[in-house]
Structure 1
Amino acid sequence: MNDQHQCWVSLYPAHVDPDLERRLGATCTLVSEWRKRVAENPDAIAMRYFNESWTVSRVDELSDATASFFEEKGVKAGDKVGVQLQNVPQFAWCMVALWKLGAVPLILNTMYGTRELTTILSDARPVGLVTSEVDARVIDGLELPGHTPWVMTTDDDDLEALSSASSVCEADDGLGLGRAVAAHIGRTVSSFVPSPEHPALLTYTSGTTGPPKGAVGTHRNLLSVGLGVQQWLDLRPGDGVLAVAPLFHITGAVATAATALTVARADLIFVGRTRPAAMVEAIRQHDVRHLLGSITVYNALLDYEGLTRDDLAHLKTVYSGGAPVPPATVEKFEYRFGHYIHNIYGMTETASAVVAVPLGQRAPVDSSTGTLAIGVPLPGMDARVVDIEGKAVEPGVMGELVLKGPQCTAEYLNKPDDTAATIREGWLHTGDVAVMDLAGWIYLVDRQKDQINVSGYKVWPREVEDVIYEHPGVSEVAVVGLPDSYAGERVTAFVSLQSGAEVNAEDIGGLVKQRMARFKVPKDIYLIDELPKTPTGKIQRRVLRDAAANVTAEG
């Protein structure tokens, strides 16, 4: 542990216990924490979805029934089951059901296209998938040689089938998850007691080096984050937590859902797909105390006409993850609504939040870069800034941010070389260039790699470039991230064409839209004669970024 560790602990609020290991215990898992909640207060509200609500005991019953149905489908301990849904109750109780079986939820972005799904499903090889009718049609069209997972669909109509305390009907896979679960109400599953090191979540990320990799999150990893976030945000039993970060993203799955359901014993409030009107309705209708979302959430609230300080008066914490919030946005939000936005930072490889601004404190701004601090390490997390040789640098000196703690994954699925490159001597190399000051505040200055961060979603330039290169009129392409006041960064493509090719930006953008998630589609496409290169032929991305303002965009 480096010398700066004691400095950041001194910044902890009084309600935060720095001894995470003591709270974590030797045998605690997400399942044991959930069962404690059921035993302690079964009649408390666990989840809400617009005008519907579910008690802890009802969620336990539904997750038992879901686990029973999955077990009949052949799901066993260690198996992976994909969950590709918006923020709906089914997502949450499917996760609990899979944990009870010792199975592993594989969370899948609803915006994934055929390329992403084929890559991920071929690597993870889930035995089944829970998804929407629309996404099921995409999955049905995939070619997965030697691997055919079963597919179960669900939507809001399914919730009607579960409106009564018990239902008796014939399970029919074609009628949706709700009908199938209703047929299993009252059933239990074979007993499985996971260890803290048993896998509890599989999340794919572009990571710090290259194409998508599956970060394996154990019960210990997720519970460490949950205990840290619960303390940091001062989450109390019954507090309303609005699920605005997508549950198919690591922040929504762990820092919001897993934390609220297990250690925090909170009231988890769903609004489906995150839209400004739905968020505002939930804030006005329910006693929302906590918000944790990307910068786009707060920009949407700022843009929402009629939203007042009184509407947000009950909020106790306002945190933003995924990308550092510009100081100007923090000031604007506080001026209008009276709430200071606290930065919070994490990665898929750390099971989400591990660095954050202490509640009630204001993040300092680095005088040399104008960057707002992302915070200090949460309990149990150690952090260093190191040079190219991995040696800790002095406070105020730029280097790579590396992390160590029980929150960090131990491996990428099926990728031992990538694991060894990212985790060295127990330290997770983030790929982010950072500065740590004498007090322990961490500032993200730049990315060591070229990864693009769009509203907290990670975009690897090469995967977008590979799709654009499929256009026959394209000669060369470079994709970079440019600052964006709404999303943090926007995907931008610079393209040179084959001689004589008659291609416009709409043609190129349309190709990417067909193949990839919306957040990966370039917002701007510049058609230029030739891409700038070094003497060795390497494309100079920094030159493109700097010159972007002087180039006429074609789309």
Structure 2
Amino acid sequence: MGTYDERPWLPLYADGQPHDIEPEFTDALAMFRAAVGRNPDGDIIRYFDGRITLRELDELSDAFAVGLLDSGFSAGDRVALYLQNVPQFVIAMVGTWKAGGIAVSVNPMNRARELDLLLRDSGSKVLVCLEGLYRDVAAAVVDRTEVATVITTSELEYQARDDSRILGGIERIELPGTVDMAGLIDRFRGQRPPSVSFSPDDTAFLTYTSGTTGPPKGAMNTHGNVVFNSQAYRQWCGLGQDDVVLGVAPLFHITGLIAHVTLSLLLGAPLVLFCRFEPSMAIETIRDERPTFTVGSITVFIALMNAPNAERDALASLTKIWSGGAPIPPSTVTAFSAAFGQYIHNIYGLTETTSPSHGVPEGVEAPVDKASGALSVGVPIYNTVVRIVGDDGEDLPPGEIGEIVTTGPQVVAGYWNKPDETASAIPKGALHTGDVGYMDDRGWFYIVDRKKDQINAGGYKVWPREVEDVLYEHEAVREAAVVGVPDEYRGETVKAFVSLRPGRSVTAEELIAFAKERMAAYKYPRQVEFLDEIPKTVTGKLLRRELRTREQA
């Protein structure tokens, strides 16, 4: 591994000029068409034992687009994708673009209230849905929305392996009033929709914020956003057509959409999917398919380390690993490297930055801040300007903590039908992230925490991340989440929720003493509660709000 100073091509801003890249395409559909033209018979999706080539994906998405148009779909209409990591997600996404539409990604863990909110907010005319999710959730919702057509499909399509750890118990379901996706494609296969193109400012996706601090909002990720950050991943991570992408992030999430789907479409490289993440099966898949690159939350890599078949050579092919979406304790990076010999590069971005705005470059190890113990999230990627600002909106010097404000070609135009929220969060194209951090004197950035998660303990500011990172250093701790809870004397005090590694034990008193030895007196947790699992979003972000709500109940 090199160091930052050894890589002079990095965007250091020392001369005021970031390292730029130029977009190669105006829209994501043109990007896909170019890949088809280069290597039509190359695999683009591998799903258990199934294979789909670029030529086949082109034909399948053509048929899907023709089917949409036949149902009355118009340019600019929205198609909601309520799916797991299955090939149909990619087919429907590309097909939606070919019909001139906008894809709306929906978390398959959403229940009726959440699905209703997203369908109403997006005004989706079509819902593409797994059969089980329609039966259990969507059937009770769609009649209250603008959805005119429901297209259903199954996890059992496009493969024959039927791995019981993921697909056990799933059966095909007869669903009157819905359109079977396989039947729709068979009906129109061989037909091509009218040619369509987009400008860089046209919306490609609506991706909904995770809602960790409030109701989800639909970020309008444009074709220009998508093309730019797909290229940024390719060049930042040193990727090419010979790479194989492992799809561990949920495809509905911005990481999965860009770092898995559209990156694969740009490269023309295979995307390995297995419906849902299961650690032991994921390790077997890595052995079989030999993927070279992935991006996932740190909880994915923690799970791989704790899998029963986690042998040292299991991840030998996976030489290009990045992690984003949730904070990374430095101790976890060290433990993973010791277990598998692979370094986890940090990467940072938001739904509103269409995945990355910062990253640790390939072959470089991120520094750890000596004072806070925080692992750097990297440096700004191409064409991106990042400022640290104080409460007065003025820029802060290196080392000072403030809000991260990002400007660049990956920043979304705004939130769907929410002009006030757009004006507040993205004034003049500058995204006020709500994340608090600082930049060191070499240009490395560090995330301290979310502004709303700060704990005020007797007038002292405590950032949960710092406490969590210390707790992760204890050999028994698998996951940790820290929140402020009411305290009669201090106003707020620090409480840690902890899950333990299999076969390990520790008492609350021992953990409190462990942290007390390593932190200022006002920071260490006064309370520890053990949970089997820490509540998280499907992308691995800690749901501190849910933990605080538990304490107030």
TM-score category by the smaller chain?
A: 0.7 to 0.9
- 1:309 alignment counterpart: 312
Match of 2:447 among 432, 440, 444: 444
- 1:188 alignment counterpart: 192
The answer to whether 1:197 aligns with 2:188 is: no
- 1:466 alignment counterpart: none
The answer to whether 1:377 aligns with 2:380 is: yes
CA distance in 2, matches of 1:491, 1:399: 21
Match of 2:248 among 244, 247, 252: 244
**1:306: how far off?**
2.9
Q: Map of 1:289-300 to 2, 5 A cutoff?
A: 289-300=292-303
CA distance in 1, matches of 2:431, 2:379: 16
Match of 1:121 among 115, 119, 122: 119
The answer to whether 1:142 aligns with 2:158 is: no
User: In 2 relative to 1, CA 540–271 (structure 1 residues): closer, same or farther, beyond 3 Å?
Assistant: farther
Q: Map of 1:326-337 to 2, 5 A cutoff?
A: 326-337=329-340
Match of 2:421 among 394, 418, 437: 418
Q: Which amino acid aligns with 1:259?
A: L
The answer to whether 1:398 aligns with 2:401 is: yes
User: In 2 relative to 1, CA 429–209 (structure 1 residues): closer, same or farther, beyond 3 Å?
Assistant: farther
**Tell me, what secondary structure is at the counterpart of 1:380?**
coil
CA distance in 1, matches of 2:152, 2:367: 47
Q: Which amino acid aligns with 2:444?
A: W
Q: CA RMSD in A?
A: 3.1
The answer to whether 1:60 aligns with 2:64 is: no
CA distance in 1, matches of 2:187, 2:177: 11
Q: Which amino acid aligns with 2:387?
A: R
- 2:102 alignment counterpart: 104
Q: 8 Å contact 1:153–1:176 — kept in the other structure?
A: yes
Q: 8 Å contact 2:357–2:406 — kept in the other structure?
A: no
**1:76: how far off?**
1.9
CA distance in 2, matches of 1:256, 1:94: 15
Q: 8 Å contact 2:280–2:308 — kept in the other structure?
A: no
**Tell me, what secondary structure is at the counterpart of 1:407?**
coil
- 1:550 alignment counterpart: 527
Q: Which amino acid aligns with 1:223?
A: V
The answer to whether 1:271 aligns with 2:248 is: no
Instruction: Tell me the percent identity.
Output: 40
**1:221: how far off?**
0.6
Q: Which amino acid aligns with 2:242?
A: G
User: In 2 relative to 1, CA 135–440 (structure 1 residues): closer, same or farther, beyond 3 Å?
Assistant: same
- 1:11 alignment counterpart: 10
Q: 8 Å contact 1:48–1:268 — kept in the other structure?
A: yes
- 2:165 alignment counterpart: none
CA distance in 2, matches of 1:541, 1:91: 45
CA distance in 1, matches of 2:312, 2:422: 47
Q: Which amino acid aligns with 2:292?
A: R
Q: Which amino acid aligns with 2:37?
A: A
Match of 2:79 among 74, 78, 81: 81
Q: Map of 1:319-398 to 2, 5 A cutoff?
A: 319-398=322-401
Q: 8 Å contact 1:8–1:441 — kept in the other structure?
A: no
Q: 8 Å contact 2:283–2:315 — kept in the other structure?
A: no
Aligned residues: 468
Q: 8 Å contact 2:493–2:526 — kept in the other structure?
A: no
Q: 8 Å contact 2:280–2:309 — kept in the other structure?
A: no
User: In 2 relative to 1, CA 193–553 (structure 1 residues): closer, same or farther, beyond 3 Å?
Assistant: closer
- 1:257 alignment counterpart: 261
Q: Which amino acid aligns with 1:221?
A: N
**Tell me, what secondary structure is at the counterpart of 1:159?**
coil
Q: 8 Å contact 1:532–1:543 — kept in the other structure?
A: no
- 1:45 alignment counterpart: 43
CA distance in 2, matches of 1:335, 1:296: 17
Q: 8 Å contact 2:406–2:432 — kept in the other structure?
A: yes
**Tell me, what secondary structure is at the counterpart of 2:292?**
strand
CA distance in 2, matches of 1:449, 1:540: 16
Q: Which amino acid aligns with 1:73?
A: S
**Tell me, what secondary structure is at the counterpart of 1:62?**
helix
Give the TM-score of the pair, scaled to structure 1: 0.78
Q: 8 Å contact 2:119–2:145 — kept in the other structure?
A: no
**Tell me, what secondary structure is at the counterpart of 1:342?**
strand
**Tell me, what secondary structure is at the counterpart of 2:300?**
helix
Q: 8 Å contact 1:173–1:180 — kept in the other structure?
A: no
Give the TM-score of the pair, scaled to structure 2: 0.78
CA distance in 2, matches of 1:267, 1:363: 29
Q: 8 Å contact 1:208–1:430 — kept in the other structure?
A: no
Mark the runs of 5 or more structure 2 residues left unpaired by the alignment. Answer: 161-175, 456-463, 497-522, 532-549
**Tell me, what secondary structure is at the counterpart of 2:46?**
strand
**Tell me, what secondary structure is at the counterpart of 1:260?**
helix
Match of 1:221 among 225, 234, 237: 225
User: In 2 relative to 1, CA 108–491 (structure 1 residues): closer, same or farther, beyond 3 Å?
Assistant: farther
